[in-house]
C-alpha cells in the first residue's frame, strides 16, 4: 500500500484486477491454455501472480525466459514466441528446458532445428490487421503457402510440426477478424493432414482490447466469436488452443498518475490550449505514438465545460506530443499542478519507458 502519494508521474497497478481478468478469461475459455504475453508488463509482481494462478507464459526474448525461470516458472509453461531469435538464445532456451518455439521463415526454422532438436514448432501466418489500433501485420508471419511448406519441412529437419499461430493485431476492435484467421488456419491444418502431418495446436494470439477511449465489444463477444469459429471450421476435431493475452490482462488494471506542468498558447490567435504533462512518450506513454492508443483521461474538473487541447509530454523533443489530431477535449479550468489520471495504462507503459531521456527517470510503478 502507498501511504502517501509519491511524486508524479507513476503507475499504480491493481493486482486483483489482473487476477480477475485472468480468471474471467479462463472461465470463458477453459479449453484454451493461456500464455501471458509478458512483454505487456513484465513486473515480477505480475509474473508471480499469474504463475500462482496457473498461467503459462509467452516470451519475446531469452531475457524474458530467464525472468520466468528466475520466478520459478517451469520451462514447459513457457513458449518462446518470438520469430526472431539468435542461435545462441535458442540453444540457451533449449538447455533451460524450453521445447515450444515460434517461427515464420526458413532461416528461423533451420536455426531451431540446429539448436533445439526435436522441439515443437508452430508457424506464424501473416494476417492483415484490419480493425487493430496497434497493427502488427507487416513484420510477423508468412503467407499460408509458405507456412505449408515450412511445416512440412520442419519434420524433415527433425522438429515436431506442432501448430499454427496468428495475431490479428493488438487492441483489435473487430472480433470477426478471428473468424477469418481461424478459417485460414483450418484450411492449412486440413492441407497438411492430407500430406501426412497432423498438427495439434492453434495459437490464437492476443489482441483482446483494453478500455480506451473508443468503445469495444466485451471479452465475451470475442470468446464467442472464437469458439464458434473453431467449431465451424474444425468441426469435431478441435485442436489444442493457445491464447496469448497481454494487454487485456493488465491494461485496465493500471493508472498513470501525472500532473500538469504547463498550459499555454502559441499565439494570440491559437484556438487550442497546449497542455503539458510530466509523463510522455519517453516515460510511460509510448503507445500514444502516432496517436494509436487513445487513453481515457480523468481530471479533477471532469463534468465542467471542456474545450479542445493538444496534449504533450515533458521532454524537449517534439516527438513527445501525445494527442494533436485525436480531438481531445479537457476542462477549461484545468490549471498547472492539477493531478491527471491516465486510465487503463497498465500495458506497454512502464515496460517501454526510456532509461532516462532528457534526464527524466523511467516511470515508477507500484503494484498493490
Question: Residue 66 or 298: which CB sits closer to its own copies?
Answer: 66
Q: Which of residues 267-306 bind its own copies (CB under 8 A)?
A: 267-268, 274, 276, 278, 282, 286, 289
Q: Which of residues 36-95 bind its own copies (CB under 8 A)?
A: 39, 42, 59-67, 81-87
- Name 137's Cβ contacts closer than 8 Å, sequence gap at least 6: 126, 127, 128, 129, 169
Alpha carbon 136 to chain centroid distance?
A: 10
Q: Which of residues 185-214 bind its own copies (CB under 8 A)?
A: none
Burial (Cβ within 10 Å: 0-12, 13-18, ≥19) of residue 157? middle
Active-site residues: which are they?
Answer: 316
Burial (Cβ within 10 Å: 0-12, 13-18, ≥19) of residue 341? middle
* Rg value, the chain, Cα: 22
CA dist 13 to 24, 134, 298, Å?
A: 18, 22, 16
- CB of 263 vs its own copies, minimal distance in Å: 6
Question: Residue 17 or 106: which CB sits closer to its own copies?
Answer: 106
Q: Which of residues 109-128 bind its own copies (CB under 8 A)?
A: 111, 126
Burial (Cβ within 10 Å: 0-12, 13-18, ≥19) of residue 274? middle
Q: Residue 152 CB: number of other CB atoms within 10 A?
A: 15
| Helix (H), strand (E) at residue 113 | helix 106-115
Cis geometry, peptide bond prior to residue 9 (ω within 30 degrees of 0): yes
Interface with its own copies (CB under 8 A), residue total 77
Q: Which of residues 304-333 bind its own copies (CB under 8 A)?
A: 312, 314-321, 324
Q: How many residues does the chain have?
A: 368
- CB of 20 vs its own copies, minimal distance in Å: 26
Question: Residue 121 or 351: which CB sits closer to its own copies?
Answer: 351
- CB of 194 vs its own copies, minimal distance in Å: 20
Phi, psi of 358 (to 5 degrees): 65, 15
* Binding window for its own copies (CB under 8 A); candidates: 9-17, 180-188, 232-240, 346-354: 346-354
Question: Residue 29 or 277: which CB sits closer to its own copies?
Answer: 277
Question: Residue 209 or 223: which CB sits closer to its own copies?
Answer: 209
Binder of its own copies out of 24, 137, 173, 224 (CB under 8 A)? 137
Dihedral sign from CA coordinates of 285, 291, 293, 295:
positive
* Binding window for its own copies (CB under 8 A); candidates: 188-196, 233-241, 339-347, 357-365: 357-365
With H, G, I as helix, E, B as strand and everything else as coil, classify residue 338.
coil
Binder of its own copies out of 94, 166, 233, 360 (CB under 8 A)? 360
- CB of 4 vs its own copies, minimal distance in Å: 16
* 361 touching its own copies, by CB under 8 A: yes
Question: Residue 34 or 150: which CB sits closer to its own copies?
Answer: 150
Binder of its own copies out of 113, 127, 136, 256 (CB under 8 A)? 136
* Binding window for its own copies (CB under 8 A); candidates: 18-26, 103-111, 173-181, 231-239: 103-111
- CB of 220 vs its own copies, minimal distance in Å: 27
Phi, psi of 179 (to 5 degrees): -60, -50
Question: Residue 196 or 337: which CB sits closer to its own copies?
Answer: 337
Cβ proximity of 141 and 125 under 8 Å = yes
- Name 200's Cβ contacts closer than 8 Å, sequence gap at least 6: 162, 163, 239, 240
- CB of 282 vs its own copies, minimal distance in Å: 7
Phi, psi of 40 (to 5 degrees): -65, -40
Q: Which of residues 212-271 bind its own copies (CB under 8 A)?
A: 259, 261-268
Q: Which residue has the cell 512483454?
A: 39
- CB of 120 vs its own copies, minimal distance in Å: 19
Amino acid at each position: 500500500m502507498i501511504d502517501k502519494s509519491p511524486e508524479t508521474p507513476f503507475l499504480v497497478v491493481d493486482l486483483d484486477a489482473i487476477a480477475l481478468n485472468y480468471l474471467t478469461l479462463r472461465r470463458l475459455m477453459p479449453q484454451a491454455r493461456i500464455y501471458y504475453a509478458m512483454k505487456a508488463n513484465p513486473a515480477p509482481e505480475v509474473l508471480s501472480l499469474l504463475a500462482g494462478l496457473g498461467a503459462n507464459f509467452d516470451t519475446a526474448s531469452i531475457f524474458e525466459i530467464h525472468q520466468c525461470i528466475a520466478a520459478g516458472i517451469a520451462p514447459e509453461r513457457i513458449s518462446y514466441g518470438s520469430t526472431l531469435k539468435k542461435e545462441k538464445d535458442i540453444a540457451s532456451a533449449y538447455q533451460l528446458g524450453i521445447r515450444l518455439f515460434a517461427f515464420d521463415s526458413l532461416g528461423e526454422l533451420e536455426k531451431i532445428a540446429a539448436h533445439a532438436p526435436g522441439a515443437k514448432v508452430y508457424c506464424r501466418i501473416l494476417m492483415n490487421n484490419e480493425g487493430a489500433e496497434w497493427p502488427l501485420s507487416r513484420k510477423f508471419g508468412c503467407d499460408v503457402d509458405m507456412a505449408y511448406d515450412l511445416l512440412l519441412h520442419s519434420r524433415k529437419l527433425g522438429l515436431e510440426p506442432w501448430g499454427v499461430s496468428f495475431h490479428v493485431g493488438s487492441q483489435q476492435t473487430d472480433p470477426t477478424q478471428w473468424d477469418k484467421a481461424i478459417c485460414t488456419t483450418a484450411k492449412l491444418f486440413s492441407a497438411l493432414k492430407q500430406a501426412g502431418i497432423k498438427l495439434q495446436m492453434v495459437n490464437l494470439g492476443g489482441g483482446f482490447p483494453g478500455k480506451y477511449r473508443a468503445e469495444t465489444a466485451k471479452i465475451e463477444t470475442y470468446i464467442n466469436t472464437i469458439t464458434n469459429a473453431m467449431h465451424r471450421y474444425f468441426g469435431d476435431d478441435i485442436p489444442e488452443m493457445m491464447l496469448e493475452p497481454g494487454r487485456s490482462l493488465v491494461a485496465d488494471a493500471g493508472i498513470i498518475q501525472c500532473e500538469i506542468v504547463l498550459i499555454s498558447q502559441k499565439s494570440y490567435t491559437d484556438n487550442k490550449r497546449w497542455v503539458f504533462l510530466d509523463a510522455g512518450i519517453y516515460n510511460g506513454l509510448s503507445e500514444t505514438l502516432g496517436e494509436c492508443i487513445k487513453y481515457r483521461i480523468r481530471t479533477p474538473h471532469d463534468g465542467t465545460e471542456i474545450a479542445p487541447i493538444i496534449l504533450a509530454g515533458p521532454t524537449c523533443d517534439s516527438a513527445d506530443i501525445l494527442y494533436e489530431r485525436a480531438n481531445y477535449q479537457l476542462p477549461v479550468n484545468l490549471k498547472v499542478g492539477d493531478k491527471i489520471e491516465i486510465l487503463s495504462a497498465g500495458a506497454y507503459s512502464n515496460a517501454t519507458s526510456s532509461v532516462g531521456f532528457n534526464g527524466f527517470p523511467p516511470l515508477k510503478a507500484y503494484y498493490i
